[in-house]
Amino acid sequence: MPDKIGFSLSGDREIIAALRGIPPELRERAIPQALRFAGRPIVSAARRLAPRDTGLLRKSLGLILRRPRRRKGGDSYLVIGARTGFGQTVSRGGRSRYADPSKYAHLVEFGHYIVAPVKGARRRQGSARALLFVLARPFLRPAFSGSVAAVRARLIQYLRTYLERRARRAATRARKAA
């Protein structure tokens, strides 16, 4: 199973304190929007770095926001990688086959062995031999490591503008009410 890569916003105390000071319903709206906005540089870099054989892998790269269930609590987070629903029949070397990037993206990222069954052996663990190792062609890990600073800056930028916009609205409403 591939390693999980991530970071959390632990510095920037002023932004975190400001987020804790706003009502939870506004916070629930601000953080997911900020995560989507901040995650785009990683997706762009991953698309730029992804190997182009059929183009399906590049096309399938994107981000999905995951939210905690209401009764469990927890933090929202982004999943960045090959999305489902982009599989199609492709022709390579005169042969047509179905290719689904969500099924093979991890093999491209981390590398893999091509194996063949041992002649006369039944299907069971250990009854195959490795023919060759296909080298890794990483695209997500370099995209992530090269974009961490940009992601953090965009996250802070979005949250700062969101909070300023909300403060202006609240001030306008207070003036109108008075």
Residue by residue, pLDDT tens for the chain (178 residues) are 445 555 555 556 766 676 677 677 777 788 888 889 999 999 999 999 999 888 899 999 999 988 777 656 667 788 899 999 998 898 888 889 898 999 999 999 999 998 888 877 766 666 788 889 999 999 999 999 898 888 888 988 888 888 888 888 888 988 888 7
Measured between alpha carbons, how far is 155 from 31 in angstroms, rounded to an integer? 9
pLDDT at 1: 41
Query: Residue 76 and residue 78: Cα distance in Å, rounded?
Result: 7
Per DSSP, the three-state class of 78 is: strand
Domain residue limits, the chain: 13-109+137-177
User: Please, which residues bridge with residue 114 across strands?
Assistant: 132
CA-based nearest residue to 160, from 9, 20, 34, 8? 34
| Model confidence, pTM | 0.78
In Å, how far are 82, 84, 166 from 104, measured between CA atoms? 9, 11, 43
Half-sphere exposure (Cβ direction) of 74: Cα atoms closer than 13 Å: 9
What is the model's pLDDT at position 108? 93
Chain centroid to CA 25: 25
Instruction: Report d(CA 170, CA 166) in Å as an integer.
Output: 6
Using DSSP's 3-state secondary structure scheme, residue 41 falls into: helix
Residue corresponding to tokens 């920037």: 12
